[in-house]
Structure 1
Amino acid sequence: RLVVRVRSFAAEAELLAPGDRVVAGVSGGPDSLTLLHVLVAIIPDPPGRLAVGYLDHGLRGEAGAEEAAFVGELARRWGLKFFTDRVDTQAYRRARGLSAEAAARELRYRFLGEAARAFGAGKVAVGHTASDQVETVLLNIIRGTGLAGLRGMRPQAPYPLPEFPDLCLIRPLLGVSREETLAACRALGLEPREDPLNVDRRYLRNRVRLDILPLLRQINPGVERAVLRLAEAAAADLSLIEAQAEAVLKEALVSRTPDEVVLRRDVVNARPRALRAHVFRLALLGLGTPEPPLTAYHLERLVRLAEGRVGGRLDLPAGLKAQVGYDFIRIGRGFGSLTGTEFPGVDRPIPFSPPARVRLNGWVLEAEVLPRPQDCDPRRAPEPWTVFADFDKVKGDLEVRPWRPGDALVPLGLGGRKKLQDIFTEARIPREVRPRWPVVADRLGIVWVVGLRLADRVKVTPDTRRLLGLRVVKG
């Protein structure tokens, strides 16, 4: 009966197509042993189309080698190609600053991806069950999640590592409970290997399974079914939202590599805020699934970053970073120095007298003198890239020059002096672009820190007769 159910589930979710080659990740536990048994039953010509992969993570001494031999014997019994390897998870974890869980997961999926490539397979099957789905949704709720986290795992999903873009991950047992996989192993006469790490309460998933779920069952004996219904409802709603988010992503996408994605800010910011988080989430899928995963909190911070000031930066899990330019937002790993035209820049002092246009590293400073209009409100805060000053309060000739260490001013609306270094830090201006950041100055000092602060001494008042208009534009 279990085989019939899984075959029906796989057909409905379109997990397997004629001619597909599959690598099954098998650990020796009840779930993966059941997975292997079912795949042998539902895939035609298993020896030609199904292979088995087992990775010894090097965490359990000889037990890992014994488990590898056990799984290898099962594969040989069915005439299946067997891939195995042993890795040092702890060394990998230390080298990359990951948790043990995240390191083991990354190593496992890389091993299975390489096995699939060697076997000519386009799909990797894993033994996640409905019980795992319940734990995953609860974990996501604990960490803080949106609809994607409530949906939990999908029957078919993009491969978790970006270096395998042509692979997909399938979960044929997602409609089967852990109790059913244990019963299936008993019925088949299989003796699953139990991993002692599965009862180690240092891992959050184990605490959810061993401590939190039993408490929830006391409140609602059917809590697992309730959580699964929640996941199904979230999946239905999310399918509609993701279709819209995919269209926005297609329009906004400037470039994508395995390590970085660049999006147009104007396209993303023109959409409702609720949709933008999903655009960012889908954009990040091509960079692999970070561990710990991005939560609704991280996605909301990305939305705010994209709305904010040029130069804003954000650190995300797993070494991901985001930064905002004038036109684009970049998200990825290993950003180099910002040497392009994302920010205005100047290498030397350039004198000017309005009206004037001064080029600043792909940007233009425009300056003009205007009569003060009757409806000019001196209390109105200046815009980031356009300001108005009292021209008659400017002393001597004007110049635009690079920032100098020790530069300071009394910013508009602030009672005391402030160093530019502190202004840059508060505005999250990247350190590598600060030395060339343009400053408009007169004989007395700074008039305007471009895009950031106007000096209080040149502010517009009711007595102002002439305005100095300063604007910086891209182009």
Structure 2
Amino acid sequence: MLPLPQRVVEYIRAHSLLRAGEGVAVAVSGGADSVALLRILLELRNELGIVISVAHFHHGIRGADADADEAFVAGLASAHDLKLHLDRGEARVRAGKSNISLETAARQLRQGFFAQILQEHKANCVATAHTLDDQAETVLMKALRGAGSRGLSGIFPEHRCVAGRIVRPLLEVRREQLREYLRAQKQEWREDASNLDLSFARNRVRTRALPMLRDEVNPSVEHALAHVAEIARAEEQYWNDQITRLLPLVIVPGEPARGGGRKQTRSEGIAIDIQKLYQQPLAVQRRLLRAAAEKLGCGMEFEQVQAVLHLIAQRAERGAQNKIVELGAGWRVRLLFRELRFEVAEQKESSTGYALPLHIPGEVRVAALGTTIRARISEDNGKAKNASYNPHSVRLPEIAELVVRNWRAGDRFRPARHNSEKRVKELLYPLHLSEEEKRLWPVVAAGDRIVWVRSIDSPELRTETGERLSIEESAE
């Protein structure tokens, strides 16, 4: 087998990731993967003709550990006489202000940091240390959530953005190979304790699901999943080319005019001819609908696509039938006689969000909902001490109170009898809620983890001391 740096340079050249003369900001968290990426690119910089700098972002989450990570990366950059790009953010503050999960807020801050580096021309591209193991975990999680070929494409070797590129040179390298490389180099790295936290779905996939599949199904499961991503990427490229060609053929300009014909308007939106859409195979219909939404900057989940197709199939019915599918982000799809219209949703006056402390035991009135939510310690519950994570019981962290709040984009929840987390957005869709109901739908959070969602079966909850906890809601 070729030495690791040589394998990486061949991958870089095969995918045209780096070019001579380019400035490359290596994203270094301090963990083994990113430190190995930096050391490998340092070995290759003369051969590739690149100029290397180091980028590190402090998310303001892990306190002293994150401070130590920052100091470690700064020392690493200094030891190799590299320019260091440092920035900090407050992920918790952003999550609260933007009504999103902490994980989503941290990712947005980090991506904004990379974009700033590129926009200010401090580098031509940012290199991140995603590995073959990361690819396998991503593909498996996407498959378990019912993704199509786009989701199964996993992590792309290159992502182009307005100001530059994000490149991933290590997608064919195993995580353990990077650690072996660092040990041979006598290079230290930092360990992130959160990688062992089994409350995160990715950590459970990494430490439980994949080892089980490796031992009992396929010893090369990670490589097999990476092959799935490679196949799906090629197919997705084919479909993108086809849909780019077909979409203009089904879009109709303007809006229907009274008395026949069409009138040109300045209003935002896209109309699709239903008859032309139905002339296409089902797979193409689905992709055309998603492409139309994306043209407006709005995404469509599978359930929303199916709901729109159901509207079309039932369009002969009259009366009280709903003719609208809400897409969120201020957009909706409205069924007309001969067309589907993607348009701006009607603006309705809405209540503000909420976040209320809930003591254990205790209760809190949620005025926005007209209900009371209480946390109650069940009697005669056995007090199983130090119970580890299992599919039927969730151990809460040692905290004095919970938080009752409206759900946020990016929130995830593991319902009862499920072995993996799902997006709350996906769980709410079958309930057919109005936009206002959905926006104010309550969840209960323990720290950064959602432990209860209204109308969704929750797993058994236990406090840090092993007592069984019940969360209940009652109308006023």
TM-score by length of 2: 0.60
Gaps of 5+ in 1: 160-164, 339-426, 432-475
| CA-to-aligned-CA distance 1:82-132 (integer Å, 9 cap, x gap) | 111221111211222222221111111111111222234342221111000
Task: After superposing the two structures, state which structure 1 stretch, 63-72 or 239-248, moved more.
Answer: 239-248
Cα distance in structure 1, aligned partners of 2:228 and 2:154: 10
Which residue is 1:30 aligned to? 32
Matched, 1:324 2:326: no
The answer on whether the counterparts of 1:26 and 1:32 sit within 8 Å (CA) in structure 2 is yes
Task: Select which of 199, 208, 213 maps to 1:211.
Answer: 208
Cα distance in structure 1, aligned partners of 2:63 and 2:35: 22
Tell which structure's C-alpha radius of gyration is larger. Answer: 1
Alignment-mate amino acid for residue 35 of structure 2: L
Task: After superposing the two structures, state which structure 1 stretch, 64-73 or 301-310, moved more.
Answer: 301-310
Cα distance in structure 1, aligned partners of 2:135 and 2:181: 19
Cα distance in structure 2, aligned partners of 1:172 and 1:180: 14
Which residue is 2:78 aligned to? 76
Question: Aligned-pair distance for 1:71?
Answer: 0.9
Alignment of 1:354-393 (within 5 A): none
Which residue is 1:232 aligned to? 230
Which residue is 1:312 aligned to? 324
Which residue is 1:133 aligned to? 135
Alignment of 1:339-418 (within 5 A): none
Paired-residue identity, %: 31
Alignment-mate amino acid for residue 58 of structure 1: G
SS in 2 for 1:60: coil
Question: Aligned-pair distance for 1:43?
Answer: 3.8
The answer on whether the counterparts of 2:20 and 2:49 sit within 8 Å (CA) in structure 1 is no
Cα distance in structure 1, aligned partners of 2:124 and 2:52: 11
Which residue is 1:9 aligned to? 11
1:324 and 1:75, CA in 2 relative to 1: closer, same or farther beyond 3 A? farther
Cα distance in structure 2, aligned partners of 1:216 and 1:36: 31
Query: Over aligned residues, Cα RMSD in angstroms?
Result: 3.6
Cα distance in structure 2, aligned partners of 1:21 and 1:254: 45
Alignment-mate amino acid for residue 170 of structure 1: V
Task: Select which of 268, 277, 282 maps to 2:286.
Answer: 277
Which residue is 1:145 aligned to? 147
Gaps of 5+ in 2: 254-266, 316-321, 349-431, 437-476
TM-score by length of 1: 0.60
1:287 and 1:265, CA in 2 relative to 1: closer, same or farther beyond 3 A? closer
Question: Aligned-pair distance for 1:154?
Answer: 1.1
1:84 and 1:285, CA in 2 relative to 1: closer, same or farther beyond 3 A? farther
Cα distance in structure 2, aligned partners of 1:199 and 1:81: 32
Question: Aligned-pair distance for 1:173?
Answer: 0.6
Cα distance in structure 1, aligned partners of 2:91 and 2:324: 35
Cα distance in structure 2, aligned partners of 1:286 and 1:102: 23
SS in 2 for 1:121: coil
Question: Aligned-pair distance for 1:323?
Answer: 2.9
1:127 and 1:308, CA in 2 relative to 1: closer, same or farther beyond 3 A? farther
Cα distance in structure 2, aligned partners of 1:76 and 1:28: 14
Question: Aligned-pair distance for 1:138?
Answer: 0.8
Alignment of 1:49-198 (within 5 A): 49-159=51-161, 165-198=162-195
Alignment-mate amino acid for residue 76 of structure 1: S
The answer on whether the counterparts of 1:141 and 1:150 sit within 8 Å (CA) in structure 2 is yes
Cα distance in structure 2, aligned partners of 1:10 and 1:20: 13
SS in 1 for 2:156: coil
Cα distance in structure 2, aligned partners of 1:287 and 1:29: 38
Question: Aligned-pair distance for 1:30?
Answer: 1.0
The answer on whether the counterparts of 2:59 and 2:90 sit within 8 Å (CA) in structure 1 is yes
The answer on whether the counterparts of 2:19 and 2:48 sit within 8 Å (CA) in structure 1 is no
Task: Select which of 199, 204, 212 maps to 1:202.
Answer: 199
The answer on whether the counterparts of 1:313 and 1:321 sit within 8 Å (CA) in structure 2 is no
Cα distance in structure 1, aligned partners of 2:10 and 2:132: 16
Alignment of 1:256-295 (within 5 A): 262-266=269-273, 271-281=280-290
Which residue is 1:245 aligned to? 243
Alignment-mate amino acid for residue 287 of structure 2: H
Cα distance in structure 2, aligned partners of 1:201 and 1:289: 33
SS in 2 for 1:231: helix
Cα distance in structure 1, aligned partners of 2:27 and 2:323: 44
| CA-to-aligned-CA distance 1:242-271 (integer Å, 9 cap, x gap) | 22122234667899xxxx994441276654
Alignment-mate amino acid for residue 334 of structure 2: V
